[in-house]
Amino acid sequence: MKQFAAAFLALALLAALFGASLSSAPVQAAGTLTYTGEITPTNTADDYPISLAAGQTITIQLDCAPGSLLDPIVEVYSSAMVGLDSNDDGGAPCINYNSSYLVFTAPATDTYIIRARTWGPLTGAYILTITGDFIIGDSATCAPVPLPAGSVVGTFITEAVADWSPGKQTEPPVTFAAGKTAWVTGVDASASYYQIAYGCDCLWVPVEAMGPNYDAVWNGTPLPTRTAGACAKPAFSAPAAPSPVAPPPQPTPSLT
């Protein structure tokens, strides 16, 4: 029902250079996620896990899809399903009601649940947009890609849409903004694409999209030109939509 519909931008992965696992490294993504879904009499809420570090802020917008009679409500829960924040009518008008808009700052590092639901018996399709710094899903369930010796952190010098295999674009597209950084592990056989470590998977980007990182750690270290081996994890294609978490019983509100 739910579809992972639009891009999120950029990872910066920090780990030891030689053979290190990324499992203990901080991972940060910055960008926008868009999900679509539908609230029905039998599907009263959809939940989306987003991992945030303490102090990170996201904006959450829950809109009615065109023609939808939904009265959107967005809620934020901790991983222990403690309600932390919500909004009902803070967004743009729908057909009969307003959409929901919420700015949320994480009080602690945790995997938060973004819940899309409706007010009362009203049903219909929705569009959920999450913007800010986040990690998709629960990072604790992710086994990140080990870095081979000689991997180097590079910088995107232009915006790039990543490929799951050289010449085969990710679907939905994963876009990296200029100025973001990522670990580079090598090049493909044609030396036309860099292989980058992307959390739990490997992606490929054109070599012209990346250059050395001139921060105080890397000081312009040249990016590796060796032929990259097979990724230690299955190649990225399209992440599965998160499974809904059953909402707690809620009283039926009055619409008067």
Residue 109 has a pLDDT of: 85
Mean pLDDT value across residues 27-53: 74
Is a pLDDT exceeding 70 seen at residue 187? yes
Q: How far apart are CA 128 and CA 78, in angstroms?
A: 19
pLDDT band at 246 (very low <50, low <70, confident <90, very high): very low
Instruction: Provide the CATH number for the domain formed by 26-141 in this structure.
Output: 2.60.120.380
Grouping H, G, I as helix, E, B as strand and the rest as coil, residue 245 is coil
pLDDT value at position 135?
Answer: 63
| Nearby residues of 245 by Cβ (< 8 Å), 6 or more positions away | 47, 81, 113, 115
Residue 3 has pLDDT above 90, yes or no: no
What's the token pair of residue 150? 């000689």
Percent of the chain clearing pLDDT 90 (strictly above): 22
Summary mean pLDDT of the chain: 73
Residue-wise pLDDT for 79-118, tens only, equals 878 899 998 876 666 766 777 899 999 999 887 888 888 8
Segments making up each domain of the chain, as ranges: 18-24+144-239, 26-141
Which tens digits make up the pLDDT trace of 217-245? Answer: 788 999 999 999 877 543 333 333 344 34
Write down the pLDDT at residue 91. Answer: 65
Whether the predicted pLDDT of 198 surpasses 80: no
Q: What is the pLDDT of residue 149?
A: 74
Beta strand 175-176 with 168-169 is unpaired
Distance separating alpha carbons of residues 70 and 63, to the nearest angstrom:
9
